[in-house]
């Protein structure tokens, strides 16, 4: 019998494809040759690990094993080394499962489960079965987590959360399983990729944002039950064949302590007292969409604002057709996630021309400090919904008191809508400025510039700090796309304005 550990590796050797964030010494052969089992090594390994450690001195998270064979876009749990993994033998499916559910067809798999489409012989419908996966290295907690996922999801009864039909945990060696609604459709990832190389048209963006708003509804509801999803990404959103939207895969959800969630015991999702609790230091989620508190392994700091970050990362993907972090290695992506090293959406995908207002919303949602994010999902949703209602294609700009926003006599091809603050409209007469009127929030100036490039007829000066929305012809075109009757009205108005302006110009020229 060979001398090997329970996970199949030789004693003292690191498991294949795992890196430990702990400042390891290279083996002698690696130190002398500069090569190792994963290619050229590793003069800078110690420096890389040291650079990842938080400056606060809390290094508990740095003792985490990173499974480098896990795809960067996959949900994963990177945990402290030393957890005992036992290689289990494949177990036969439960007789109860085989008796009721026929014609199985595999449709997906994860780290500890497989999903099959089956026919429920009792009800006469197709459902999905999620089956705990045996036949690989497992920790004692893995089965607990699987069962906990079913219990959490089953208690979250919401139109945009996939319904759970049944959970079966049997004694003996049969693996547990649960059944749920079979969602036939596409993931949000697939919807985004359809037009990834094209500019974002208003129609496409409206379609994607409708899905996003329903995701916000589901996540906000889960928060009222004391549940944080912790793995929000486009791949975990299913859009059914008739427009149904479901938030899937609650397998790494966190139940907030009562003191953190502020919810009554009756409202909170209930799990057994013995349910698995994540150790501080565990890195849980999907690396390319991860909030910094997740990347740092600060599991006790994960709360509703972690999901706000995840939703912001999802919105980033909608705008750019790429994940939040792009890196070549796990270490590189982990560093980016810890530091929130993000390129703004309009810079990351200039060919998509994402609306300025949505770019602003994304950057606030993915702030490094939770306190700088939206305080809850409802606040984030409200701003995205306001964009959908109109005006989001117009970029915002802020001017200090005394700034000249529009200069009399200067050419102009845009208009302005005052969001906040006050302005004076001033016109020069006999070399002296004359106050024409004062403007406040909601009022418009410079509107002639949208239809005609004639010189400005007056100056507009900020009398306090002023925020305006700038209306250009292109932004107005995008804003009106899909609103055919309103667009026709504006085009007719513009044609008449231009015709009248041309006639006035002709008359002035004749009078000399």
Residues 238-283 pLDDT 10s? 999 889 999 999 999 999 987 665 555 568 888 776 555 677 778 8
Are both 210 and 347 inside the same structural domain? yes
Show which residues are catalytic: 231
How many structural domains compose the chain?
4
For the CA atoms of 196, 200, 204, 208, what is the dihedral angle to 10 degrees? 70
Same structural domain, 38 and 92: no
> What is the sign of the dihedral through the CA atoms of 105, 107, 110 and 113?
negative
Given a contact cutoff of 8 angstroms between Cβ atoms, the answer to whether 297 and 60 are in contact is: yes
Q: What is the pLDDT of residue 313?
A: 98
Query: What's the whole-number mean pLDDT along residues 114-134?
Result: 90
Q: Is residue 2 part of a domain?
A: no
Q: Which secondary structure element, helix H or strand E, spans residue 51, and what is its range? A: helix 45-52
Residue 511 lies in a domain: no
Examine residue 10 and state whether it is found in any structural domain, yes or no. Answer: no
Report the share of the chain in percent with pLDDT over 90: 44
Residue 18, pLDDT > 70, answer no
Please say if the pLDDT value at position 9 is more than 90: no
**Average of per-residue pLDDT across 366-373:** 97
pLDDT tens digits, one per residue of 147-205: 999 999 999 999 999 999 999 987 767 788 999 999 999 999 999 999 888 888 888 99
Q: Cα–Cα distance between 322 and 399 in angstroms, integer?
A: 33
Residue 12 has pLDDT above 90, yes or no: no
Buried b (16+ CB within 10 A) or exposed e, 427-459: eeeeeeeeeeeebeeeeebbebbbbbeeebebb
Instruction: Report pLDDT for 14.
Output: 37
212: domain CATH number? 1.10.510.10
Question: Please, where are the H alpha helices in 287-421?
Answer: 292-295, 304-320, 330-339, 345-348, 356-365, 377-389
Supply the pLDDT for residue 496: 75
506 found inside a domain: no
Given pLDDT bands bounded at 50, 70 and 90, which one contains residue 512?
low
Tell whether 65 and 105 lie within a shared domain.
no
More confident residue, 23 or 391: 391
Q: Which of 182, 199, 224 is the last residue of a domain?
A: 182
Q: What is the CATH number of the domain that holds 407?
A: 2.60.120.10
Structural domain ending residue among the three candidates 335, 359, 390: 390
Instruction: Give the model's confidence band at 326: pLDDT under 50 very low, under 70 low, under 90 confident, else very high.
Output: very high
From the list 213, 169, 175, 200, the residue with the least C-alpha distance to 386 is: 213
What pLDDT score does 1 carry?
42
116 & 236 share domain: no
Q: Which residues of 230-260 are buried (b: 16+ CB within 10 A; e: fewer)?
A: bbbbbbbbbbeeeebbbbbbbbbbbbbeeeb
Whether 507 is covered by a domain: the verdict is no
**Quick one: DSSP state of residue 75?**
-
Residues 67 and 76: beta-carbon distance below 8 Å: yes
Which pTM was predicted?
0.74
Distance of CA 81 to the CA centre of its chain: 29
20-34 average pLDDT score: 37
Q: Point out the domain boundary residue: 158, 182, 206.
A: 182
Model pLDDT, residue 140: 67
In this predicted structure, the answer to whether residue 25 has a pLDDT above a threshold of 70 is: no
Whether residues 285 and 433 fall in one domain: no
Same domain, 282 and 383: yes
- Judged by DSSP in three states, 471 sits in strand
Has residue 505 been placed in a domain?
A: no
Lowest mean per-residue pLDDT among 8-22, 210-224, 268-282, 455-469: 8-22
Query: In angstroms, rounded to a whole number, what is the distance separating the alpha carbons of residues 183 and 61?
Result: 37
CA distances from 325 to 69, 71, 78, 459, 511 (A): 18, 13, 18, 45, 64
Minimum mean pLDDT range among 185-189, 332-336, 375-379, 446-450: 446-450
> Mind listing the pLDDT tens digit for each residue in 432-461?
889 999 999 999 998 877 777 678 888 999
Would residue 342 count as lying in a domain?
A: yes
Position 507 scores a pLDDT of: 80
Average pLDDT over residues 479-485: 72
Among 220-224, 314-318, 467-471, name the one with the lowest average pLDDT.
467-471
Report the range out of 23-27, 53-57, 148-152 with the highest average pLDDT: 148-152
pLDDT for the residue 266: 60
Q: Confidence class of residue 27 from pLDDT cuts 50, 70 and 90?
A: very low
CB burial readout 37-76, b (16+ within 10 A) else e: eeeebbeebeebbeebbeeeeebebbbbbbbeebebeebb
Q: Could you write out the DSSP letters of every residue in 3-22?
A: ---TTS--TTSPPTTEEESS
Indicate if 127 and 176 belong to the same structural domain: yes
Residue 336: per-residue pLDDT: 95
Mean pLDDT across the chain? 80
Return the higher-pLDDT residue of 57 and 206. Answer: 206
> 53 or 310, which is more confident?
310
Range of the domain at 328: 191-390
The residues with which 399 forms a beta bridge, in sequence order, are: 466
Pick from 491, 470, 489: which is nearest to 413 by CA?
A: 470
């Amino acid at each position: 019998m060979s001398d090997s550990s329970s996970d199949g590796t030789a004693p003292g050797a690191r498991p294949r494809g795992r890196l430990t964030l702990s400042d390891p010494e290279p083996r002698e052969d690696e130190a002398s040759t500069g090569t190792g089992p994963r290619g050229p090594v590793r003069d800078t390994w110690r420096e890389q690990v040291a650079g990842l450690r938080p400056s606060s001195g809390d290094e508990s998270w740095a003792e985490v094993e990173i499974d480098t064979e896990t795809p960067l876009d996959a949900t994963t749990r990177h945990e402290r080394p030393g957890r005992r993994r036992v290689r289990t033998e494949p177990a036969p499916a439960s007789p109860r499962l085989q008796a009721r559910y026929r014609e199985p067809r595999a449709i997906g798999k994860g780290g500890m489960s497989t999903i099959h489409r089956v026919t429920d012989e009792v009800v006469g419908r197709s459902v999905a079965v999620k089956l705990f996966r045996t036949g690989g290295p497992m920790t004692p907690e893995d089965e607990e987590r699987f069962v906990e996922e079913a219990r959490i999801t089953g208690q979250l009864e919401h139109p945009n959360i996939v319904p759970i039909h049944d959970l079966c945990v049997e004694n003996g060696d049969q693996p547990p399983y649960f059944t749920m609604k079979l969602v036939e459709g596409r993931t949000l990832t697939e919807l985004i990729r359809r037009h990834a190389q094209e500019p974002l048209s208003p129609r496409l963006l409206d379609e994607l944002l409708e899905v996003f708003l329903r995701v916000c509804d589901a996540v906000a509801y889960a928060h009222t039950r004391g549940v944080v999803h912790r793995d929000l990404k486009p791949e975990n959103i299913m859009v059914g064949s008739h427009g149904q939207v479901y938030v899937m895969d609650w397998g790494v959800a966190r139940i907030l302590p009562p003191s953190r969630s502020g919810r009554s015991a009756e409202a909170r999702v209930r799990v057994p007292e013995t349910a698995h609790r994540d150790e501080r230091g565990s890195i849980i989620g999907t690396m390319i969409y991860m909030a910094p508190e997740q990347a740092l392994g600060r599991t006790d700091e994960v709360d509703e604002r972690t999901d706000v970050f995840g939703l912001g990362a999802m919105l980033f993907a909608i705008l750019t057709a790429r994940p939040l972090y792009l890196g070549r290695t796990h270490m590189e992506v982990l560093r980016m996630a810890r530091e929130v090293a993000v390129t703004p959406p309009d810079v990351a995908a200039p060919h998509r021309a994402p609306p300025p207002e949505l770019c602003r919303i994304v950057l606030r949602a993915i702030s490094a400090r939770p306190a700088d994010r939206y305080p809850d999902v409802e606040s984030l949703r409200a701003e995205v919904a306001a964009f959908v209602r109109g005006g989001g294609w117009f970029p915002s700009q802020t001017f200090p008191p005394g700034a000249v926003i529009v200069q009399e006599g200067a050419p102009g091809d845009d208009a302005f809508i005052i969001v906040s603050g006050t302005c004076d409209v001033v016109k020069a007469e006999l070399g002296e400025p004359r106050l024409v009127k004062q403007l406040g929030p909601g009022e418009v100036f410079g509107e002639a510039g949208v239809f005609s490039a004639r010189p400005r007829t007056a100056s507009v000066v900020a009398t306090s700090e002023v925020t305006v929305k700038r209306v250009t012809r292109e932004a107005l075109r995008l804003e009106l796309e899909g609103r055919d009757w309103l667009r026709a009205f504006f085009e007719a108005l513009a044609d008449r304005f231009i015709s009248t302006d041309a006639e006035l110009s002709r008359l002035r020229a004749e009078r000399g």
